Amino acid sequence: MTKILMVCLGNICRSPLAEGILKSKVYNYKVFIDSAGTGAYHIGEKPDRRSIAVAKLNGLNISDQVARKFTVNDFDDFDIIYVMDNSNYRDVIALTRNNEDKSKVKIILNEVFPDENLDVPDPYSGGDFGFRNVYKMLDEACIAIASKINSDV
Ligand code: 4NP
């Protein structure tokens, strides 16, 4: 079973959407998916109401998720750690202990735009458009991730 962790800053806007979207596209016996934040500000909270709303518009319920902070143990517990932006990348890389840990950390939009290191923009301080835009970007990325996973025997 592949274990995938989605990571952003607060674990309330982008990574809960990434978790919910990818879960909807793969067989759950093949993949374990979770999400976490590099920051501690929102530990224990549900996803942002705007993320819950855009997920609902697309037929997904992410309201049961609970925010947690990324820890070094996550390098042992997960095979792939997808970060949402370059700032998350730096924060997670700073916690790596060795090259094996480093090799697990990937910028999620590189699944759609290889080697371009593009950010899923932080929508927290913006309006609803930002959340729809994030949803669209993560949906594309998760289609690419899921097609790889689903083609593995
Ligand atoms: P996220 O968005 O990293 O996509 O969950 C944010 C949520 C909260 C904050 C920043 C980004 N904050 O500063 O509280």
CA distance 85 to 29: 28
The string of pLDDT tens digits covering residues 64-103 is 999 999 999 999 999 999 999 999 999 999 999 999 999 9
According to DSSP, the residues that pair with 69 across neighbouring strands are: 37
Contacts of 104 (CB under 8 A, 6+ apart): 75, 78, 79, 80, 81
The pLDDT tens digits of the residues spanning 105-121 come to: 999 999 999 999 999 99
Tell me which of 13, 14, 48, 50 is the catalytic residue. Answer: 14
Mind listing the pLDDT tens digit for each residue in 51-71?
999 999 999 999 999 999 999
Identify whether 50 is a catalytic site residue.
no
Provide the pLDDT confidence category of residue 124 given band limits of 50, 70 and 90.
Answer: very high
> CB-based contacts of 129: which residues, under 8 Å, 6+ apart?
none
Which residue has the least CA distance to atom 12 on ligand 1? 10
* 98: DSSP letter: S
* Cα-to-centroid distance, 15 and ligand 1 (Å): 10
Whether 153 shows a pLDDT value over 80: the answer reads no
Is 90 part of the annotated catalytic residue set?
A: no
What is the structure's pLDDT at 152?
Answer: 74
| pTM recorded for the entire structure | 0.98
* CA 121 – ligand 1 centroid, Å: 10
Of 8, 13, 48, 142, which one is the catalytic site residue?
8
